[in-house]
Amino acid sequence: MTQIRITHIGGPTALLEIGGWRILTDPTFDPPGRRYAFGWGTSSRKTTGPAVSLSDLPPVDAVLLSHDHHGDNLDVAGRTMLPGAGTVITTVAAVRRLGHGEGLRPWATTELRATGRPTVTVTATPARHGPPLSRPIAGAVIGFVLQWPGQERGALWISGDTVLFRGVREVARRFDIGTALLHLGAVRFPVTGPLYYSMTARQALRVCRRIRPATAIPVHYEGWQHFSQGRETVERHFAGEHGDLGERLHWLTPGTPAELTV
């Protein structure tokens, strides 16, 4: 088994330290208070700032960017750090807009290689940022599966902003997932009524029933007005589950590194 360190910075942003690698997910470092437009009449205000400032962030070897076109996944400050972040792995559409990075389509892979460090294989996983037929509006999003030598509990999966759909179920079929970082929050907007644009607590429970991770880590469920479900709702759904899935939930304290065995 190997040890990794995860620091939840806020929202979808987490620093993963794996065998000498520093890998950052969805950089968001803007202060709270600003309202961000997401297109088609939708918007949201950021209510909580990052637990680690950009100036205190250590050098980053790679960024896993699920998508670039929403300010709660890549904000103004986050964009400033991308040119010095080493490898940026994201969607094909994001590479076109950003002008740099490595674009992956779902199920495509790439590798992080460096002398003295384990080779990390990164596989892009499908994500759908909303209800059926919403992809032309919500845009392309991917998640990521990370694999490296020495994993005994399974791969690490970062879901990205997605609802439960066939592509997410396929992740469970293709991979043995040991650690899952799940983007939750049940995003909703007044203009589209009851429709959800990220996983609900009920969907997260169904995902975990399928993948049976050793550790499930909720992220991206707080700090923005457009979230309709928080920690209490997630815990309530998992507490009513037969078996030990509730015990596999691992809540990170923003800014505080957590050591995990994988």
Judge whether 229 and 222 are in contact, CB under 8 Å: no
Q: pLDDT at position 2, please?
A: 81
Mean pLDDT score of the chain: 96
Which is nearest to 13 in space by CA: 37, 49, 38, 43? 49
Give kind and range of the element (H or E) at residue 22.
strand 21-25
Confidence of residue 185 (pLDDT cuts 50, 70, 90): very high
Mean pLDDT of 109-120: 98
Residue 26, Cα to own-chain centre: how many angstroms?
7
Q: Which residues form the domain of 192? A: 3-261
pTM, two decimals, is: 0.97
Structure tokens at 249: 């939930």
Which is nearest to 26 in space by CA: 97, 90, 117? 90
CA–CA distance, 143 with 219 (Å, rounded to integer): 13
Give kind and range of the element (H or E) at residue 112.
strand 109-112
Which is nearest to 219 in space by CA: 50, 84, 19? 50
Give kind and range of the element (H or E) at residue 120.
strand 120-126
> 190-194, 201-205, 208-212, 244-248: lowest mean pLDDT where?
244-248
Residue 33, Cα to own-chain centre: how many angstroms?
22
CATH number at residue 233: 3.60.15.10
> What are the pLDDT digits (tens) for 125-174?
999 999 998 998 899 999 999 999 999 999 999 999 999 999 999 999 99
Mean pLDDT of 235-259: 90
How large a percentage of the chain has pLDDT more than 70? 99
How large a percentage of the chain has pLDDT more than 90? 92
Confidence of residue 195 (pLDDT cuts 50, 70, 90): very high
Distances (CA, A) of 203 to 121, 163, 208: 27, 7, 9
Is residue 233's pLDDT more than 80?
A: yes
Is residue 18's pLDDT more than 90?
A: yes
Confidence of residue 242 (pLDDT cuts 50, 70, 90): low
Total domains present in the chain: 1
Is residue 203's pLDDT more than 90?
A: yes
Give kind and range of the element (H or E) at residue 36.
strand 35-39
Mean pLDDT of 76-95: 97
CA–CA distance, 252 with 186 (Å, rounded to integer): 19
Q: Which H, E and C letters describe 192-232, residue by residue?
A: HCCCCCCCCHHHHHHHHHHHCCCEEEEECCCCECCECCCHH
Mean pLDDT of 7-19: 98
